[in-house]
Structure formats: C-alpha cells, structure tokens
Amino acid sequence: MKAYILHEPGGPDKLQLEATDRPKPDKNEVLVKVRALSINPVDTKTREGKSLYDKLKETPPVILGWDISGEVVEVGEEVQYFKPGDEVFGMVNFPGHGKAYAEYVAAPEAHLAHKPANVPHHEAAAATLAALTAWQVLVHEAGIQPGQRVLIHAAAGG
C-alpha cells in the first residue's frame, strides 16, 4: 500500500508518498480501506515537530492522521459489530499512532461507527473530531441523558 510518511518534521513537503506494509488487524481491530480523511490542527502541529511528534517517532514509520471514512475489508477474530463491506468512519487511535494518511488503516472496533448511507465519505471524515468533541461535552460534562433535548446556538465549524 502507499502512505504519506514523515521522515522529519517541517512543512507539507516533508510528507513523502511511499510504499509500506499494509497493516494487519489485531483480534479486536478492523482493517479499513480509506476513502477520505480529515486534517486537523493536531495533524499540522505534529507534522511541524510539535504536539505528538516525539511520541510517534518512537515507532516508525511516522504516518500522520486520525480522522477517516472508508470501507471495512477485514476484521479481527473478536470483532462483532462490523463485517467486510461495511462503510465506517471515526477518529482512530488518538492520541496514539493513527496512521490515517494511508490507503489502509487498522483501528480498534470501538473507534469506528457505521457511516450513514446518505453522508458522503468526505463529510463523514470531516465530522469525526468535531462530533466527538460535541458528544464528549454533552455526555461527560453536561450529563445529557437519552430523551433529553438540547438547544445549541452558533454551532458552525468545529
């Protein structure tokens, strides 16, 4: 498979498209053929050598990215929620080594959700970080319970 590999921090020109091994899913992981990905500020900061760079460079190759949308091609033996052919999206392995700037990504089953059929891959990938942030605030901070209603003002952007 091909992936954008970061050999040293810097600008976008430091991302090199190279051949690398296709990941194999562990027993609780799903192998996803990436159809779209999203780039967030943490990607840019990490590429520049800040944020998570020092942690990621400990396990080369450094392949950035966490937000994906794609199709399941293989599942580990303990995966119960997904099967090959399912369309999924999610923020994978964050804050670990997501490796989303690649043709294929192995991700824990718990880091993915079924992509709604009426949402294109590029929109699903772009929604992951913002949606997760909103969910965490509503569920963990505000304690919202099923059946409750919430009015959100000015919810444009991430």
pLDDT tens-digit profile, the chain (158 residues): 999 999 999 999 999 999 999 999 999 999 999 999 999 999 999 999 999 999 999 999 999 999 999 999 999 999 999 999 999 999 999 999 999 999 999 999 999 999 999 999 999 999 998 887 787 888 889 999 999 998 888 766 65
Residue 89's nearest CA partner among 137, 134, 36, 42 is 36
Q: What is the pLDDT of residue 158?
A: 59
First to last CA, the chain: 31
By the 8 A CB rule, do 19 and 1 touch?
yes
Peptide bond into 25 cis (omega under 30): no
By the 8 A CB rule, do 20 and 102 touch?
yes
Give the whole-angstrom CA distance, residue 5 versus residue 14: 8
pTM for the whole structure: 0.88
Q: What is the pLDDT of residue 16?
A: 98
